[in-house]
Structure 1
């Protein structure tokens, strides 16, 4: 958590996909700090969040859940995600983006950003600050107390399909003209989804009294994020290791999907050596394919590789 209250219209969350489900379930438990919203029957933080920021699909239809944004690098979580592969969650109370075309309040990072201004202009009784603290505390408690970590693996599978769709829309024609194996990306994403489905089926029948099984399952879920790191880093930003999510190279506060490809493809036609740039795209694309396949393999039964080998 960085700045907990920017406005007082709605909760806003940026997170990696593993945290989406937990964010929704937690927001449903926290009382709405806005008395007008409570009077309208929206009693939880989740209710107003869904009203103000519904998540729309590529066809303009609501998914029935609030929107969760991608992570940039404008706060302290960035090295945890990019270097250590720690699944990450950032939240604050925000303004309604449909009412105000602003991202931050005008006094942000000025000498006038002081306690009295916050109390008089943003949150007179600290109700919104308390709501953010409650969401954060409940997320922490749930992660600490749950027998099985409440992480949403299927949300990761859906996120991969979403960012593939975005990549295809933005660069699909150029990639197909220059990469013979571009369609393999959808194949490995589908295979990853099958690994997730198999893993979640095993959760239904696992022996919850066996501490070794519980530890194994929790380790597999906890370490999934790390499986998407490349030790060599992104081609143009070697200190950024996450192949799926990093900040936009042109706006460090905004998130970007398949950031290494985005960096290489940006203005590629204006490069003095476009062929050399496309060779780097091909190399990085192969790394992405291998990484997604490897991430799916980490979710399989730990002795499966032995059976496949034998």
Structure 2
């Protein structure tokens, strides 16, 4: 290496480790070994990490002990710089989150990109994620899907409108106290009859998967819902995308001619054709 310039061969390795999303018994031997051998561990919640290690019978860092630091959204930028310094100084760094894989709606991306840019080796101890677990339990198509993370608090209607014609199965994370409102907004944007599944407390004692039309799930979620939640929504029907505004307006007109009030006719048309009510409304008033 050149004097004063670190050589990539002397760098440590950044490892992203997936922790079980529920059952401690799901932890693979390689994960437990990584926790015991780590010199530096960056954890989303250090308290929960220590609780997990105690349940798994693991001593973090083994006999010498690991330096455990917090690594969460609020300190991600500052901590990433610090951890990169550890890596370029030759120390191995293990990154974990509360559950699932770092970087999937959890801290990790910023540090990975910095490490890649610096020439640091990045590897992973693969583990479960609620994304694919919920997908396979949903009963919805799994051949093509997309992950949309947490829906935004502001501009939710606009984001969902952009996804109304998405044909792949969609996977979302959501907090339990916002679930009812989000499902209602999805029913408005995607159509009340769009199939979906709400997966709660995956792999845990009180695991629950509720499947049905978005309107039914929204009504259920209007009550109290607890735990970690993942929402899976079917993609748009290709046939629905081929219908023109004139087709939608004509379908509403047929119902109106039979004596159905316009508002009800729009709702019934949206439900029958599996298209968002807003799309039918716009077609009628266009």
**TM-score, normalization: structure 1?**
0.24
Structure richer in strand, relative to its length: 2
Name whichever structure is richer in helix by fraction.
Answer: 1
Q: Which has the larger radius of gyration?
A: 2
Report the TM-score when normalising by structure 2: 0.25
